[in-house]
Amino acid sequence: MSFVLLGSLLAAGTTSANANEKTPGMNTSKLLNVAHRGASGHAPEHTIPSYKLGEEMKGDYIEVDLQMTKDGTLIAMHDETVDRTTNGTGLVKDYTLEQIKALDAGSWFNDKYPEKADPAYEGIQVPTLEEVIQTFGTGARYYIETKSPDVYPGMEEELLRILNKYNLTGVNERSSKVLIQSFSQESLLKMHNLNPNLPLIQLISYKEPATISEDELQELSEYAVGVGMSASKIDQTYVQNVRNAGLLIHPYTVNDKEEMKRLLDWGVTGMFTNYPDLLNDVLHGK
Ligand code: G3P
Ligand code: CA
């Protein structure tokens, strides 16, 4: 891992104070249950039924991956192409919103997981970010990822426009209804420059067992309140190093109860799961 962009991308006028210094009293004791793409182990990912199940199953956050249509609308979808999770083919950026809305975002799930199939999933639409927020309101919390930001110039500005429209931003991690995550440091720094109060989570992709240095933690702390990475790449030392730096740590994607328990023992502050019902059980000692 290398974070080399910070010096050039932290804009003049925004402070480089430790992000956590801006969040006094930040609650790191609450263990966050993040419904990954909704309760996507039970229902088609990034659809309203999946998000509703995530809420019903006591997820603290609805996770929303963002892609952007040809005509500039932010939609909830993981992949840059529509192929895997709809009946269409091709790149999202080549689709207008009207064309995206004509796709079936649920039948693939019924075909792939007949034991979990539900006729209600047939023909459901890809939701826009605004539709998700309008459906779940400001009582919900959203864990939003800027996907492929290099493909979608302006996606950060559009995201912030929507967050402001619905009053979802707060002065710190506790008051904000959103956490913003990305593998792209450049995208997060852009968000930080647009609104230094936004709580940001730096996602990190490791190919080998993960380590993290003091310098890296210091750099992350300049703009982020936490980090996320594959649960399979970390150990207790890594978790404790992150926690000792005052950062949140939310590994993904954890679908096994024993792994959930192990990560909690190591000191993680939450995790992404396709099964928020399982994590809720674990958090309640079941
Ligand atoms: O955002 C956490 C995790 O979702 C990152 O992986 O590929 O599922 O978006 P991915
Ligand atoms: Ca994600």
Q: What is the pLDDT of residues 227-254, one digit of tens each?
A: 999 999 999 999 999 999 999 999 999 9
Region 136-158: mean pLDDT is 97
In terms of Cβ atoms closer than 10 Å to its own Cβ (0-12, 13-18, 19+), residue 20 is buried
Region 91-114: mean pLDDT is 98
Is the predicted pLDDT of residue 257 greater than 70, yes or no?
A: yes
pLDDT score for 13? 36
Choice among 26-35, 169-178, 242-251, 273-282 with the minimum mean pLDDT: 26-35
Is the predicted pLDDT of residue 173 greater than 70, yes or no?
A: yes
Report residue 214 as tokens: 């003091």
Q: The pTM is what?
A: 0.93
pLDDT score for 1? 58
**Cβ–ligand 1 contact at 203 (below 6 Å):** yes
pLDDT score for 18? 36
Contact 46, 78 (CB under 8 A): yes
Atom of ligand 1 nearest to the CA of 143: 1
Is the predicted pLDDT of residue 135 greater than 80, yes or no?
A: yes
Domain limits, the chain: 5-283
pLDDT score for 22? 36
Q: What is the pLDDT of residues 78-90, one digit of tens each?
A: 999 999 999 999 9
Is the predicted pLDDT of residue 28 greater than 60, yes or no?
A: no
Residue 253 CA, ligand 2 centroid: distance in Å:
9
Contacts 24+ apart (CB under 8 A), 111-117: 116/42, 116/43
Catalytic residue from among 42, 46, 78, 192: 78
**Cβ–ligand 1 contact at 250 (below 6 Å):** no
Contact 85, 105 (CB under 8 A): yes
**Cβ–ligand 1 contact at 143 (below 6 Å):** no
Calculate what percentage of the chain has a pLDDT beyond 70: 90
Average pLDDT value over all residues in the chain = 92
pLDDT score for 30? 83
42: annotated active-site residue: no
pLDDT score for 194? 98
Region 32-56: mean pLDDT is 98
Which residue's C-alpha comes closest to atom 3 of ligand 1?
A: 252
- The CATH topology of domain 5-283 is TIM Barrel (3.20.20)
192: annotated active-site residue: no
CA distance 41 to 56: 14
